[in-house]
Amino acid sequence: MMTFHREGRSIMLGSIALFVLFSVANFYFLKDLIFGLFLFLELGFLVLLYLVLQFFRIPKRTCTGAELDIMCPADGKVVVIEEVEETEYFKDKRIQVSIFMSPLNVHANYYPISGAVSYTKYHPGLFLVAWHPKSSTDNERSTCVVKHENGQEILFRQIAGAMARRICYYAQKGDQATQGAEFGFIKFGSRVDLFLPLGTKIDVQLNQKVKAKLTKLGSLN
């Protein structure tokens, strides 16, 4: 079962209206004049409409994580697993796990753990390609930190890409996060970075394809 995300309502309605308009014009002007071009354009309109609609799809899933599991917050591919200095909130070394979302992936984002939201901040910025090394610090992005009841905190960051022009985030400081509940959405191509405590056992590998709410990234100690 699948639904469509509310963030795409106006875009999807506009795309459907444009598809109908262009299809009517295509039929009126080209069907009898250049039938091959008419079919080519009509197929192109259908493909573009499909791409827009599938981008906002939300498949029905149940989060499979246990209490201490760190579940994947986004669909995509693991592009970074490394020890880095996190400079915004922790200001110390953490394990960074980054997930790149192509335009074909589901783009809703979900809490990886349960706990209290202890920090949120939105950063305006650039729109470098999401795999660019500086996209994590220079691009438009939002940061959220959740503190588990055992005292450990995880930071995760939505990062806009070259095509992503709007980050939607719903988490607010003081909220109670539930593992697998939605905290945001990014429109058109992007990435999510997680910063985990040193010593966290990582259960994914570079270039592995992962799914939100279903893939276990690691476990809290």
Point out the residues that are catalytic. 190
Structure tokens at 199: 């010593």
The candidate with the shortest Cα–Cα distance to 115, out of 220, 25, 3, 38, is 220
Angle value at C-alpha 157, between 167 and 163, nearest 5 degrees: 40
Q: What is the enclosing helix (H) or strand (E) of 146? A: strand 141-147
Alpha helices for the chain (secondary structure H): 9-30, 35-55, 135-138
Report the distance separating Cα 52 and Cα 178, nearest Å. Answer: 29
DSSP count for the chain of H helices, then E strands? 3, 16
Element (H, E) at 110: strand 108-110
- Number of neighbouring beta carbons within 10 Å of residue 52: 19
